[in-house]
Amino acid sequence: MKKYLLFTVFTLLVLTTKAQKEINGCIVTLKESNDNNFIFSNDTITVTFGPSEFFWYVNIKNNINDDISIVWDKSSFVLNGRASKIIFDNTINFKKDEPIPDQEIPSRSFIDKKIFPVDNMEFSSPTISRRFVKKRYEETGNPDTVKLVLAFNINGELHKLDFNFEIVPKQKK
């Protein structure tokens, strides 16, 4: 009975643990983390996130023996409910609206990208700004949200995965 109780308590702690990171005076939380890191993993893919003030680092690993591809034009960067096309750190302003070709990820390999919402490009607006996060949090009591929707072509089928982040101002002690 004692072992069962310890296992249950440990399981509940693991299931309720969320990945958190301090960035630019804010606490960013990933809700779909398998552990206390910014990593999501299943049998098919492993996605590692590195949120930052502007560009978000994404590492996508193919865990299967078949090639897969990420469909960038069906993926989205949703900031506080506003959906935006994903662009990269090397995107030139006048090419920001051009289609992005699918990117193949060969079997058992990975890709690294720095992504950004195209809607923030014109004024180089940050995705995480303590001033704005704090203001909205004080006005509404709600955290800022980022949802990254990543679309994959796996064996000829389109699959979408949503990754939900919450951002709140760091409380001063």
- Over residues 18-75, the pLDDT tens digits come to 688 898 899 999 987 656 689 999 999 999 999 998 899 999 999 999 999 999 999 9
Q: What whole-number distance in Å separates Cα of residue 141 and Cα of residue 57?
A: 28
How many Å from the N-terminal Cα to the C-terminal Cα in the chain? 41
**pLDDT of the residue at 13:** 36
Beta bridge partners of 50: 57
Q: Following CA atoms 136, 140, 144, 148 in sequence, which dihedral angle do they give, to the nearest 10 degrees?
A: -130
Nearest to 144 by CA among 161, 119, 126: 126
136 within 8 A of 34, measured Cβ to Cβ: no
Ordered by where they begin, the domains of the chain are: 2-169 (2.60.40)
Tokens 């090639």, residue located: 67
Sign of CA pseudo-dihedral 34, 35, 36, 37: negative
Report the alpha-carbon distance of residue 56 to residue 113 in Å, rounded: 8
Q: What is the pTM of this model?
A: 0.84
- Where is average pLDDT lowest: 5-14, 34-43, 78-87, 158-167? 5-14
